[in-house]
Amino acid sequence: MISFENTEVAFRGKSNRDLKRAYWLFKLVSSSGLVKFGKGFTNFSLKMRLPIKGVIKKTIFHQFCGGENIQESMLASKLLAERNVKTILDYSIEGKTQEEDFEKTVQEILATISEAKNNKNIPFAVFKVTGISTFRILEAANNGIENLNAKDKEAYDRIVDRIERICKSGFENNVPVFIDAEESWIQDTIDRIVVEMSVKYNKEKAIVFNTLQMYRHDRLEYMKAIIDQASRENWYVGFKIVRGAYMEKERERAQKMGYPSPIQATKADTDKDYDACVSYCLDHIERVAICAGTHNEESSRKLAELIEKKGLNKEDDRIYFAQLLGMSDHISFNLADLGYMVAKYVPYGPVSEVLPYLIRRAEENTSVAGQTSRELSLIKKEMARRKI
Judged on CB neighbours under 10 Å (0-12, 13-18, 19+), 173 is: middle
Give the per-residue pLDDT at 322. Answer: 97
Residues with Cβ within 8 Å of 183's Cβ and at least 6 positions away in sequence, in order, are: 246, 249, 250
**Looking at the chain, which runs of residues are DSSP E strands?**
86-91, 124-127, 177-179, 208-213, 237-242, 288-293, 319-324, 342-348
Distances (CA, A) of 127 to 208, 324, 338: 11, 15, 29
Check: CB of residue 247 under 8 Å from CB of residue 293.
no
* Distance between first and last Cα of the chain: 30
How many CB atoms sit inside 10 A of residue 379's CB? 27
Give the per-residue pLDDT at 371. Answer: 72
Q: What angle do CA 98, 345, 141 make, to 5 degrees?
A: 40
SS (H, E, C) 107-159: HHHHHHHHHHHCCCCCCEEEECHHHCCCHHHHHHCCCCHHHCCHHHHHHHHHH
Per-residue pLDDT for the chain (388 aa), expressed as one digit of tens each?
788 999 999 999 899 999 998 888 888 776 655 456 455 545 555 565 655 576 778 888 888 899 999 999 999 999 999 999 999 999 988 777 889 999 999 999 999 999 999 999 999 999 999 999 999 999 999 988 988 999 999 999 999 999 999 999 999 999 999 999 999 999 999 999 999 999 999 999 999 999 999 999 999 999 999 999 999 999 999 999 999 888 889 999 999 999 999 999 999 999 999 999 999 999 999 999 999 999 999 999 999 999 999 999 999 999 999 999 999 999 999 999 999 999 999 999 998 788 777 776 666 555 555 677 888 999 999 999 998 7
Distances (CA, A) of 144 to 66, 140, 149, 231: 38, 8, 12, 25
Give the per-residue pLDDT at 46. Answer: 54
Q: What angle do CA 52, 58, 61 make, to 5 degrees?
A: 90
Residues in the chain: 388
The half-sphere exposure of 287 on its side-chain side, counting CA atoms within 13 A, is 19
Give the per-residue pLDDT at 49. Answer: 62
Give the per-residue pLDDT at 185. Answer: 95
* CATH class of this structure's domain 67-350: alpha beta
| Nearest-angstrom CA–CA distance, 345 and 348 | 10
Give the per-residue pLDDT at 63. Answer: 87
Residues with Cβ within 8 Å of 49's Cβ and at least 6 positions away in sequence, in order, are: none
